Homo-oligomer: A and B are copies of this chain.
Amino acid sequence: MLTPSTEVGFIERLTSALPRSPRQLNALQESDAEIITVPGILSGRIAITIDTIAEEIRSGLYADPWLVGWMSVMANMSDLAAVGADPVGILVSESIPPHFPQDALARLQQGIADACRACGTFVLGGDTNEAAELSITGCALGMTADGHLLKRKGCRAGDVLYCSGPLGAGNAYAFAMLTSGKDGGIIYRPHARLREGQLVRAYASACMDTSDGVISTIDQLMRTNGLGFALESGWEKALDGPSRDLIRKACIPEWLLLAGLHGEFELLFTIPPGQQSDFDTAAASMGWFPGNIGHVLESQHLTLSEAEGVTVIDTGSLRNLGQTAALDFQAYLKNLLAFDRSAG
């Protein structure tokens, strides 16, 4: 991934030369995985997605090869989770530098194997290349029994915003790694929400994973749907505990755990109010208690409720700040803190 703001515009330019398949049911940026009608499939459609782990390795964020392997599977599985698909499997292409240590390679493979096992899926095939830098591309295929798949698009004003699990570990981990080279005690091991996504599928009006962080995800949902979001008081309870502690100690405002661009791969989804009670019951019956953190607004902006009052977050400016993130983390952090002061 590039930073989301750079990537969205870049992808639009890249794809302008490419005709779109008549079999494709989602428009550009409209779902986490591509939704394709395929003749001869009883359910009518498949979900397929591709994701490369490269910049996270370059920047030093994924220093452990095991994490590289784990994330190369999980990032793709999380896309399938966000559309509510059941994985058929994943293909993995590995670009490996010459003289890459054997034990590091073994750890990388173990990360791939562990992530597949955790998702109940398999590596179906792959490719290997020699390259200057390590990078791994996964491509995952998924299906559902009835062909119903979730998109980012479809929510309406008043729908309730949920998150599938604790938020902020991605950014707390990035903060720790990129300022100290150590993880600061943050266990960053996202687990694609496949089971949850398959339940969400039956109730939600829209869904997207937080692979680029929470506010970046909300920003995309805002643009795709032409609507806004309110993060209501109490959203802090959805924050990951150790991440909150780490950030507090560093005197960084908590909401910046949502603003950074390194995601936690949870799902953000919207449930129409009429479905909320049934959804809550169904989730609880599988032992899952997703956080209700806000709701969808008619007007296209993001509001954040804090003890001091309600702030409107300029998500466009946050996107633009992101352009510096990959190049210079310290500068990015400084800009984020300045953004916080100007917003507050």
Stoichiometry (number of copies)? 2
A129 CA / B52 CA spacing, docked (Å): 7
Q: Are B19 and A109 in contact (CB under 8 A)?
A: no
| Cβ < 8 Å to B, chain A residues 12-60 | 14-21, 23-24, 33-34, 36, 38, 40-43, 46, 48-52, 54-55, 58
Given A14-B126, A55-B130, A117-B19, does the pair A50, B141 have CB atoms closer than 8 Å?
no
Q: Does A310 contact B (CB under 8 A)?
A: no
Q: Does A94 contact B (CB under 8 A)?
A: yes
Q: Are B42 and A40 in contact (CB under 8 A)?
A: yes
Q: Are A50 and B125 in contact (CB under 8 A)?
A: yes
Q: Are A143 and B40 in contact (CB under 8 A)?
A: yes
Q: Does A180 contact B (CB under 8 A)?
A: no
Q: Which of A19, A24, A122 has the most CB of B within 10 A?
A: A122
Q: Which of A10, A49, A50, A89 has the most CB of B within 10 A?
A: A50
Q: Does A116 contact B (CB under 8 A)?
A: yes
Q: Does A93 contact B (CB under 8 A)?
A: yes
Q: Are B21 and A89 in contact (CB under 8 A)?
A: yes
Q: Are A129 and B19 in contact (CB under 8 A)?
A: no
Q: Does A7 contact B (CB under 8 A)?
A: yes
A33, chain B: closest CB distance, angstroms? 8
